[in-house]
Amino acid sequence: MEKIWNNAKFIYTEFRNYFDASKNPWGSRVPYVNQHCEIVDNNGLPMFWSDFDIVSDEKTELIFSALGIVDIYINGKRVGNDEMKPGWTNYNKRALYYVYDVSKYIHEGKNRILAVVSAGWYSGRIVQSTYGANPPAFIANIVHGGKSILVTDENWDATVGGPVRLADIWDGEYCDATENGYDEISTVGFVPKKVRKA
């Protein structure tokens, strides 16, 4: 499993007056890339996305984890039926990961993956800084035909927004139905406001 993550990096956004983002909970094992999108109350959740090309009809897997809770969308569809992924763990020791067969979500040509990240058990209202000083983060690898074709790195785009304006495992979600939905944002060609490169 370690080889799969060799080139992947956790990507995250900055929390204003919230964390010292210079520390990685796992030392130098997995690098962090700061997307420099400031999160303030009620302006949405961190979103990370990347477009990628598929040239053949082969099995495609998504391997991912998060410090916090993550929902994944590919080409306008939410991936999987699991909720509150990747679940609680002792983040000082480990991060849980998922492997999904995402072949049915992709097609030949250009595709888009979108990750929406919230604080969850990692850094929610009640557990702020319990597991260190890093903001919620996301890491992923897409494997197509047995080869890694996309990993999280500084080439992903990021912004803060979407219909969920604020989310916490203790306080629930605040939604604004007038905002673009994640199904729309995860469609190739859609450009959210305030896009940042790593």
Number of domains in the chain: 1
- Which domain CATH number covers 187? 2.60.120.260
Q: The tokens 């197509």 sit on which residue? A: 144
Domain holding 49, by residue range, is 2-197
Q: What was the pLDDT predicted at 170?
A: 80
For residue 41, pLDDT over 60 is answered with no
The full length of the chain comes to: 198
DSSP letter string over 136-158? Answer: PEEEEEEEETTEEEEE-STTSEE
How many angstroms separate the Cα of 175 from the Cα of each of 30, 42, 44, 104?
33, 9, 9, 29
What pLDDT digit, counting tens, does each position of 105-138 carry? Answer: 999 999 999 999 988 888 777 766 677 667 788 8
User: Tokens standing for 49?
Assistant: 């996305």
Which of 20-34, 59-73, 126-140 is predicted least confidently? 20-34
Q: What was the pLDDT predicted at 64?
A: 94
Cis peptide leading into residue 25 (ω within 30°): no
pTM of the model: 0.80
For residue 143, pLDDT over 90 is answered with yes
